[in-house]
Structures are given as C-alpha cells and as structure tokens.
Amino acid sequence: MIENKQYKTPFKVDTPDVIKTDLLEPIEYAYKSKRSIDIRIKQPEYSSVCPMTGLPDNGCITIDYRPDSHIIELKSLKYYLLQYRNVGMFYEHVINKILDDLVEVLAPLSMKVTGEFTPRGGVSSLATAEYIKD
C-alpha cells in the first residue's frame, strides 16, 4: 500500500508490484509463416486509482500489435488488466507497464498501447507508448 504524506485518504491504494504477468497466456499464432496480421484490442472499462488521492481513474486501453509467434489469449488479458483496479499509478506509467509486460510475454514485431482517460477536473489525458522490434 502506498503511503502518501501529501494526502490522507481512507482508500486502500496498492503498489504496482501486485501486478502479476503470469496471468497473461500467449497462444501460438498459427499463420506466422503465411501472413502477418494487425490486431487491435480495446478494454473500454479500465480502472485504477490516482496514487496521490486514491480516487478512481477510468479510461479505455487500446492495444495495437503485430505478432511474431504468439498472440494473447483475451480472457487472460482481461484478468491481467483487472489487477490494476486498486493500484495507484499515473497514466503514463500504466501505459508503459502494460506495454513492457505484453512485450515480455509475446515478443511481438511491434506494439502500441494507448490509454484514453476520462476527464477529471475538466482535463482529459491520452497517453501512448510504442515498441518496435529491432
């Protein structure tokens, strides 16, 4: 749990170390030798919490990728993303963590993770992180 000296909050805020990548299940991409494919996955009900206040952050996570040998099993991705529900992370860190974890598990040719977060206090946020295999 994060202890924030600037704000006192009655909410439990978990640290990012509770996020486990072993929930992510790669599946062999059976058409690798025949053709490449571009995949887009949207999770429009993403939630985590502000690490400073414990207040909820909501948004849509979009994952665009071109697999090499593996694709992600969607139920496992859903369970993976649900782990963020009580985690205190800034938007930019969330997007980078999701990208790093998926790249580690799938080793795609390329991947882009975008988070479009709902406005709070009149300010909305869009964050994108990208990976391209060397």
Task: Tell me the per-residue pLDDT of 11-64, one tens digit each, with 9 for 90 and over.
Answer: 788 999 999 999 999 999 999 989 999 999 999 999 999 888 888 899 999 999
> Would you say residue 37 lies in a domain?
yes
7 in a domain, yes or no?
A: no
In the chain, how many domains are there? 1
Residue 5 lies in a domain: no
* Beta carbons of 27 and 37 less than 8 angstroms apart: no
Q: What does pTM read for this prediction? A: 0.90
Query: Is 122 within a domain?
Result: yes
Q: Which residues are catalytic?
A: 50, 57
Q: Which residues pair with 61 in a beta bridge?
A: 43, 115
Domain containing 101 — which CATH number? 3.30.1130.10
Instruction: Report if residue 113 sits inside a domain.
Output: yes
Let me know if residue 3 belongs to a domain: no
Residue 2 falls inside a structural domain = no
What pLDDT, in 10s, does the model give residues 119-129? 877 788 999 99
Residue span of the structural domain in which 44 resides: 16-132
| Residue 55 located in a structural domain | yes
Question: DSSP string covering 65-121, please?
Answer: EE-SSEEE-HHHHHHHHHGGGGBB--HHHHHHHHHHHHHHHH--SEEEEEEEEEEET
